């Protein structure tokens, strides 16, 4: 049996990893933003077609979300960053998170101007 809460967490993590908002996912699928929110909170299930569409958008196999497959390996540079971040204090992690958000906003602005 598929654990809806684990699937919800994996879907949200995959969306956030790609830097997509719930609205951006809704715009690229047949789901509404409120449906995405309900799915990610475990309050709504998914039809097979919806799960396939999200898996394709999130660049993961369906089995990853259902728990039948392990998470895809992260690129080596991301794994290295993760190991380094684990050694930081919680304050430093918060600073790093804010800086990361700043960099993402800059990249988004450049993309919009380019």
Residue written as tokens 């879907």? 11
What is the pLDDT, as a whole number, of residue 113? 73
Is the pTM higher than 0.75? The answer reads: no
Residues in CB range of 52: below 8 A, 6 or more apart: 62
What's the gap between Cα 71 and its chain centre?
12
Length of the chain: 114
CA distance linking residue 36 with residue 79, whole number of Å: 28
Q: What is the pLDDT of residues 100-112, one digit of tens each?
A: 999 989 988 988 7
- pLDDT value for 21: 95
pLDDT in tens, 31-73: 999 999 999 999 999 999 999 999 999 989 999 999 888 776 7
């Amino acid at each position: 049996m598929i654990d809806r809460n684990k699937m919800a967490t994996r879907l949200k993590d995959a969306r956030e990893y790609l830097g997509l908002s719930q609205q951006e996912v809704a715009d690229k699928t047949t789901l509404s933003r409120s449906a995405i929110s309900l799915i990610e909170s475990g309050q709504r299930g998914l039809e097979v077609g919806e799960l396939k569409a999200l898996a394709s958008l999130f660049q993961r196999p369906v089995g990853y979300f259902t728990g039948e497959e392990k998470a895809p390996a992260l690129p080596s540079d991301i794994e290295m960053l993760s190991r380094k971040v684990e050694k930081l204090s919680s304050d430093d992690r918060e600073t790093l998170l804010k800086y990361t958000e700043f960099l993402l906003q800059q990249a988004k602005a450049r993309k919009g101007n380019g």
